[in-house]
Amino acid sequence: MSTLIRNMTMAFVIAFSSLAQAQEVAQHLQDVSVTIKSGSAEGSGVLITRELQKSSTDSEKIKVNFVVTCAHVVDNLRSTREIINGEGQRQTIIEYRDAQIVKELVENGRKVGELKMDAKVILFSDAEDGEDIAILMVRKQGFVDTNTEFELSDKPIAIGTGLFHVGSLLGQSGANSMTAGIMSQVGRVLSLGTGDGVVFDQTTVTAFPGSSGGGIFRTDGKYVGMLVRGAGETFNLIVPIRRMRQWASHRHVEWILDPSVAAPSLDALKQIKPENGADEADDKEQSEKSKAFPYLIRRTKPAQEIPVTPTREREAAKALNEAL
């Protein structure tokens, strides 16, 4: 009898511990996830916090927040203009307007407000000919202390692994929606760019327009990819973390994903060009295979709301498509 009681007690403790851990992970994913507004588009992203020196000559450190999202969420903020430089040559200047980062506040089971901050596009890799990654820097220093933890292994996530997605499904009206699924396949290749294709992984987490840029996480809370495309509510493609790490290495910004890597000073960061020249393209036509997996970004029109009811998600998605 004593053995039975001991075993039952252990089972209860394990179950309670697992529940507490799951709730802790869920809250953490809520804390690091934000909505991104970029003109007429709404998408998702995750927050990271890094301590940066002000300059190479000033050792004082300040907390700076960044947002990891996908490039197609903010590409409508991009503009170009031509100038004549000091040598009398034409030069194309690429500029970005600020995006807005929105963090909803919930207390006692009710939304009580939101925080909105401007954010500067500091890194951009084109969706069709690059990696579809953008890094934003929140202009207000020390906006939050929360930090996304990235998986730093280059091994693909095993098929069948349980996953979470937190994103702004249908835009701000669905901010920080949490859904679950599994890794359903790895290594999907789309005929994008000028090389031998681009690799994506496939998941079954529920996603809608507005999910673009949102994180895909293991059940322990580690970030394993970014949701970018879909062909159905539970058929979507992600930029896997192994691709993101390759891009970060190529741009010499490993510190974004790995906090153990020293970050540049704030002054040095301001000198980094958002785009990297040859591997970035401008307004190229999408391939047919690309069109089969559209971006999951919500486009809005002024003074327009898309009706959403708990039992009519498909009708809401149809209304959204008609509004595009």
How does residue 226 score in pLDDT terms, banded at 50, 70 and 90? very high
Task: Supply the DSSP string of 29-60, one letter for each residue.
Answer: HHHHEEEEEETTEEEEEEEEEEEEEEETTEEE
- State the sign of the Cα–Cα–Cα–Cα dihedral 102, 80, 229, 304: positive
Min mean pLDDT across 2-11, 34-43, 79-88, 157-166 is at 2-11
pLDDT in tens, 65-98: 999 999 999 999 988 888 887 777 888 888 889 9
Q: Record the pTM.
A: 0.81
Give the structural domain span for 273.
2-278+286-323
Q: What is the CATH number of the domain that holds 197?
A: 2.40.10.120
In terms of Cβ atoms closer than 10 Å to its own Cβ (0-12, 13-18, 19+), residue 142 is exposed
179 or 7: whose pLDDT is higher? 179
Residue 277: the pLDDT is 56
How does residue 9 score in pLDDT terms, banded at 50, 70 and 90? very low
Residue 324: the pLDDT is 39
- DSSP, collapsed to helix, strand or coil, labels residue 227 as strand
The pair of structure tokens assigned to 98 is 């600020």
> What's the total number of domains in the chain?
1
